[in-house]
Amino acid sequence: MTTVAMPLKRQKRRPSVAIGSVLVLVVACAGWWIASRISFVIPDPSSTTRALFSNLGDPDYQRDMRVTAIAVAWAFALGTLIGALLGLVLGLSRTARLLFEPLVIGLNGMPKIVLYPMLLPVFHLGYGSKVVMGVLFSLFPVLINVAAGVRDVPEVYWKLSRSLNASRWQTLTAIVIPAIRRPLLTGIRLAVSLATVGVVLSEFFATQNGLGRTVLRAYGTGDYADMMATILLLISVSFTLSLALWRLERKTR
Amino acid sequence: MGQPGIKISDLAVRFDTPAGDTVTAVEGINHEIEAHKFVSIVGPSGCGKSTLLNVVAGLQRPTSGSVEIEGAPVTGPNRRIGLVFQEDSTLPWKTVEENVAFGMHIQSVPKEQQRRRTREMIDLVGLNGFQKVHPPMLSGGMRQRVALARTLAQQPSVLLMDEPFAALDQQTRLLLGAELRRIWRQTKQTVLFVTHDLSEAILMSQQVWVMSYRPGRIIDVVDVDLPDERDTSVVSTHEFNELQNRIWASLQQEAMRGFVAEATAS
């Protein structure tokens, strides 16, 4: 009996994820603090936190946050929609796959940011250019995951749909879309962070308002605590979103 | 002869290989199944059993010949034909209940009827208590019960089954076979059941068709005159063995021919 009970007991004492996260956070903060003692260009955690809170109360900064958030939301929504639609076409049609798959792979490998100078005169300094850049960043993971997901739909589901005389629309909504829910969610998770990358990267180059610009301005004036505060804000938000979506992905059957 | 169930006339299916040859999958099938009869097709792998079934189901067009179901020609999949596949075709994102209702849902059966038939079919295949469970939590045999219930809920008059228990272990296969026979005795569909397992075929059917290796022809028709009420214990009777020997005798040569052909082809 004792030999049976042993492994059961050991299983119970599995370390929890929460403890690991707190440990990593504590070690990171300690490392950060030590680094700030060694190099004067690195702001320490407390002055960064102070800068973050004073920023959050500043109306100008709130406007910058709003601008970036709206741009990211649009870029994500459009990128996911376009990526999903193109992915469905590429996954469902053999002809489309043969014609466009190399193009998609090639375009995905391209450093998209080099297009930014070309987008500026067309879409202007406001939302246009950075949303388009965010879309270019976020559509590929959705497209590629959806296309692969559709191709992996078990053969028997197509047979089932045909034997039930299901319409194209029924097949799409009742079988294909639920069948690819997991790759679709993976694509969406990646799209959230890549939309942020596209938008903030654009703001680093040229824009009127946005968090990317505040980072660059703080860098220009040598206000490293301020710069670090914004970077920390961007990191925490995308970290939390990615983690939440990843949880959702794992819970999905 | 009773009412017509499935009538297959002069059926042949040929297809071109990428190498440019023409392969005859099935040929000269001229057979009939009376309504409410249970017929099995046995044959070596690669003999065109599944092709024949797909043609009867309306999923594949024959090169020549025709299929009639209850007197009406088959031109495509339709409501009178119910299919059960070899592979697991349950939808993992739906519960057992939703899976059973899925075919009816696609065919826009009224909601009230969907609920009633779902309840009846779950009862019939013995899945009571599992209504809210998702298929990944079930065994392979249970999932095939779900698929069977889904097909039966559509109330087809003809049931076509393509090696539905092939992926299961021998015990489960025999038990499910006996279950299927019990269900069939209640629902009385015309059944065409494809298998490569002789004992499964004999256990369930009233008639067994033996198919030859390519080109697939029906080389023997064996009537199974075992008691109508039978369970798995019939497997050990003398009559059962006689039938098995008789079918094996006609099948043996074909199985060998198929085995050699497949071995030299690969």
ipTM of the complex: 0.88
- For residues A83 and A139, the answer to whether their CB atoms sit within 8 Å is yes
Residue B120 pLDDT: 92
Q: In the numeric block, which tokens belong to residue A249?
A: 């992905």
Min Cα distance A207 → chain B (Å) is 45
Contact B59 A162 (CB under 8 A): yes
- For residues A202 and A134, the answer to whether their CB atoms sit within 8 Å is yes
Q: Is A251 on the interface with B (CB under 8 A)?
A: no
- Secondary structure (DSSP) of B248-260: HHHHHHHHHHHHH
Q: Is A1 on the interface with B (CB under 8 A)?
A: no
Chain B 139-178, CB below 8 Å of chain A: which residues? 154
Residue A6 pLDDT: 47
Q: Is B48 exposed, middle or buried (0-12, 13-18, 19+ CB in 10 A)?
A: buried
**Distance from C-alpha of B69 to C-alpha of B160, rounded to nearest angstrom:** 12
| Bridge partners (DSSP) listed for residue B40 | B193, B208
Residue A1 pLDDT: 40
Contact B106 A155 (CB under 8 A): no
Pair type for strands B207-211 and B38-42: parallel
Contact B106 A162 (CB under 8 A): no
Q: Is A159 on the interface with B (CB under 8 A)?
A: yes
- For residues B140 and B171, the answer to whether their CB atoms sit within 8 Å is no
Q: Which residues of A78-107 are buried (b: 16+ CB within 10 A; e: fewer)?
A: bbbebbbebbbbbbbeeeebeebeeebeee
DSSP B163: S
Min Cα distance B127 → chain A (Å) is 21
Residue A2 pLDDT: 41
**Distance from C-alpha of A144 to C-alpha of A126, rounded to nearest angstrom:** 29
Best residue of A153, A160, A180 to probe chain B, by most B CBs closer than 10 Å: A160
Q: Which CATH architecture has domain A69-251?
A: Orthogonal Bundle (1.10)
Structural domain spans, chain A: 69-251
Residue B255 pLDDT: 77
Q: Which residues of A130-159 are buried (b: 16+ CB within 10 A; e: fewer)?
A: bbbbbbbbbbbbbbbbbbbbbeebeebbeb
**Distance from C-alpha of B162 to C-alpha of B40, rounded to nearest angstrom:** 10
Contact A165 B79 (CB under 8 A): yes
Q: Is B102 on the interface with A (CB under 8 A)?
A: yes
Peptide bond into B215 cis (omega under 30): yes
Tell how far CA B77 is from the center of its chain. Answer: 16
Nearest to A163 among B83, B92, B93 (CB): B83
- For residues B80 and B157, the answer to whether their CB atoms sit within 8 Å is yes
Nearest to B87 among A156, A166, A179 (CB): A156
Give pLDDT < 50 ranges for chain B: none
| Bridge partners (DSSP) listed for residue A23 | none
**Distance from C-alpha of B121 to C-alpha of B127, rounded to nearest angstrom:** 9
Tens place of pLDDT per residue across chain A (253 aa)? 444 444 445 555 666 778 888 898 899 889 988 988 888 788 888 888 899 998 888 898 999 999 999 999 999 999 999 999 999 999 998 888 888 888 888 888 888 888 888 888 888 778 888 899 999 999 999 999 999 999 999 999 999 999 999 999 999 999 999 999 999 999 999 999 999 999 999 988 877 788 998 998 888 888 888 899 999 999 989 889 988 999 888 888 6
Q: Is B50 on the interface with A (CB under 8 A)?
A: no
**Distance from C-alpha of A12 to C-alpha of A10, rounded to nearest angstrom:** 5
**Distance from C-alpha of B71 to C-alpha of B2, rounded to nearest angstrom:** 13
Q: Could you tell me the CA-to-CA distances from A157 to A166, B31, B146 in Å, in that order?
A: 11, 30, 15
Nearest to A163 among B59, B88, B134 (CB): B59
Chain B environment of A164 (Cβ under 8 Å)? 77, 103, 106-107, 154
| Bridge partners (DSSP) listed for residue B64 | B12
Residue B266 three-state SS: coil
Q: Is B73 on the interface with A (CB under 8 A)?
A: no
**Nearest alpha carbon to residue B41 among B212, B184, B187:** B212
* Domains by residue range for chain B, with CATH: 4-80+157-238 (3.40.50.300), 89-155 (no CATH)
